[in-house]
Chains A and B, each alone.
Chain A
Amino acid sequence: MDLSVRIGSLTLSNPLMAASGCFGYGVEYADLVDLSSLGAIVTKGLFLEAREGHPAPRIVETPAGMLNAIGLQGIGVRRFVEEKLPELRTRRATVIVNVCGTTIDEYVEVSRILSDAEGVAGIELNISCPNIKEGGIQFGCSLDGTFAVVSAVRKVTRLPIMPKLTPNVTDVASFARASEEAGADAVSLVNTFLAMVIDVETRRPKISNGLGGLSGPAIRPIAVRMVHECHETVKIPVVGMGGIMNARDALEFMIAGASAVQIGTANFVDPLIWPKLTDGIREYMHRHGVARVSELVGSVQTGPVESPAGA
């Protein structure tokens, strides 16, 4: 059985990636999880400089989901290269770095530093964080802005580039197309849905930032729809995420059109989820006679749905 997938020039041993912001820098999990067994690790978002993020409380649980506004706390790209990347290399992890910027120049500079570093397999451009005013969402919510960031970074790196798209737009597929036209190797989606939770006793928001991003199984059907729309629209690979809790959910995204998937919130609930996911995918492939997992990508049959017998 072949679980490998291709994302542009990058071949992953399997379609499972740890989602940015949900797996630290990867090293936190190094003693618990065989990092080399993941298709890739997408790191926490990195700017040029360190950031402290928002005050606590930063998350609140919601029905079948959670809201977060961390505020992109991070150590900055140079400390990442010096302090985290060597261990990730030692652990033979496939590392995709989530790159943030407040300006196009910052995206370019961070990407340039990563291109010169040893052990970076790709770049995920964070143009979709909903939780900080100056953190890329102004690029991710404008087709021109998306095109501008991707094409500027394209000029300075040969690493695969994967913009991470926000679902907080009317037509996410048009942003996938803008990314493709600007030279992206793939797109990943969805980032979180901008949302709000209020404590009715105190009449105050339950997280310090007021608004936050909704993730978890609650958003999964919307995310699957958006991944499908992007897959129908662009030729570059789509990396899908949004509330994947088990192998069936991962397969659903792939059948919808995802070439690979990212796991976020589920890793909080079960940090030992990774072998369970690969086992579940293998079991499905065996049962359905699928030799290569990439055969499943976009295999959804969208004709009329037959009613179940007796319905």
Chain B
Amino acid sequence: MPFDVAAQVIANTRLSADYNILALSAPAIAAVAAPGQFVMVKAAPSCDPLLRRPFSVFEVLRDAAGVPSGLSLLNKRIGASTNLLYRADRGDTVDCFGPLGKPFTLVDRSAQAWMVAGGVGLAPFATLAQALRARSVPTTLFYGARSAAELFHLDFFRELNVELVLTTEDGSLGERGRVITPLDRRLAAHVPHAPLMVYACGPEGMLAACAKTAARYGQPCEVSVERIMGCGMGGCYSCVVPMRNEHGGFHNIRSCMAGPVLPADQIMWD
């Protein structure tokens, strides 16, 4: 059951010219959000921009007693709403509705978890890493970005004992190139029947490549897809993803309800 919260901005941490982390006071949502779920955020009360935007819950914030008090969003400036959220000040209020959607399937400690993030696709993996850590699941983060300046929050993952495999397109940190290259190499070296789950979030091309690579090695993969969403509730049918059906055809599912986390091998990627 989602909640609509007039969430006050607690902090706005600008990470670069394009990225920021917006911390919001929203205890009702924070208390029940699961890794992979999202919120619909209205950046301004006016009707321009009109619609809410979907954001993965980046972090669940806690008060001194450890009680969930809010959540943060990893925001990248792309359009009108994300620009407003980049510029937001402490004390501003934004309407935040959630949590929504299906979370990631958590594996147990008999398996390894490999998280694959591209750019702002890092967003769902902070809470997932914490949940996996709580289950003592050995976890690796494959994380690719344009440059070292856009690889964020690395110490957060290090503190959770997450192994980091970093790539940058300009070679300024980690391996030069795309994140799929080390993923492929690791999958090739992985003992075929050792339990593994690949989780991915990032640009569509990266997700498709990740899905195909995992499938080639017979490993399960869940992806968190990003679609333009009108409502987040299943009302508008905007955010569809074509999924294979048993008749050899496809069915457009609403990623806000059936996703955003979806089994990669059922998505029609082409």
Q: Measuring CB to CB, which residues of chain A are less than 8 angstroms from any residue of chain B?
A: 21-24, 28-29, 31-32, 44, 52-53, 55-61, 63-66, 68, 70, 73, 216-217, 245, 265, 267-272
Contact of A24 among B2, B234, B239, B250 (CB under 8 A): B234
Query: Given A32-B2, A58-B238, A70-B237: A265 and B50 within 8 A (CB)?
Result: yes
- Which A residue's beta carbon lies closest to that of B240? A56
Contact of B228 among A21, A32, A60, A65 (CB under 8 A): A60
Query: Could you tell me if B50 and A56 are in contact, using CB atoms closer than 8 angstroms?
Result: no
In the bound complex, residues from chain A placing their C-beta under 8 Å from that of B52 are 268-269
Contact of B48 among A55, A57, A64 (CB under 8 A): A64
CB interface residues, B 65-124, toward A, < 8 Å: 79-80, 95, 97
Shortest B67–chain A CB gap in Å is 25
5 tightest Cβ-Cβ pairs between the two chains A and B = A28-B234, A268-B231, A59-B238, A268-B230, A58-B238
In the bound complex, residues from chain A placing their C-beta under 8 Å from that of B4 are 270-272
Q: Specify which of B95, B228, B250, B257 lies most central, judged by the most chain A CB atoms within 10 Å of its CB.
A: B228
CB interface residues, B 25-46, toward A, < 8 Å: 42
Query: Could you tell me if B235 and A22 are in contact, using CB atoms closer than 8 angstroms?
Result: yes
Contact of A44 among B2, B227, B233, B237 (CB under 8 A): B237
In the bound complex, residues from chain A placing their C-beta under 8 Å from that of B97 are 271
Give CA–CA (A82, B128) in the complex, Å.
38
Give CA–CA (A258, B257) in the complex, Å.
34
Query: Could you tell me if B235 and A53 are in contact, using CB atoms closer than 8 angstroms?
Result: no
Contact of A73 among B1, B48, B237 (CB under 8 A): B237
In the bound complex, residues from chain A placing their C-beta under 8 Å from that of B251 are 52
Shortest A205–chain B CB gap in Å is 14
Contact of B241 among A44, A56, A245 (CB under 8 A): A56
Is B64 positioned at the interface, with any CB of A under 8 Å from its CB?
A: no
Query: Given A64-B50, A65-B50: A32 and B237 within 8 A (CB)?
Result: no
Query: Given A73-B240, A272-B4: A59 and B228 within 8 A (CB)?
Result: yes
Shortest A262–chain B CB gap in Å is 13
In the bound complex, residues from chain A placing their C-beta under 8 Å from that of B250 are 52
- Which B residue's beta carbon lies closest to that of A25? B234
Q: List 16 A-B contacts (CB under 8 A).
A: A28-B235, A52-B250, A55-B242, A56-B228, A57-B228, A58-B237, A59-B238, A61-B51, A61-B79, A64-B48, A70-B237, A216-B47, A267-B231, A267-B235, A269-B51, A271-B4
In the bound complex, residues from chain B placing their C-beta under 8 Å from that of A53 are 237, 240, 252
Indicate with 1 or 0, residue by residue over B50-66, a CB within 8 angstroms of chain A CB atoms.
Answer: 11100000000000000
In the bound complex, residues from chain A placing their C-beta under 8 Å from that of B231 are 22, 267-268, 271
Query: Given A61-B50, A63-B48, A267-B235: A56 and B227 within 8 A (CB)?
Result: yes
Query: Could you tell me if B227 and A66 are in contact, using CB atoms closer than 8 angstroms?
Result: no
Query: Could you tell me if B239 and A56 are in contact, using CB atoms closer than 8 angstroms?
Result: yes
Shortest B235–chain A CB gap in Å is 5
Seed contacts A24-B236, A271-B235; 20 additional CB < 8 Å A-B pairs: A21-B236, A22-B231, A28-B233, A31-B1, A44-B237, A52-B250, A53-B252, A55-B242, A56-B241, A57-B238, A58-B228, A58-B238, A59-B236, A60-B228, A73-B252, A217-B47, A267-B231, A267-B235, A268-B231, A270-B95
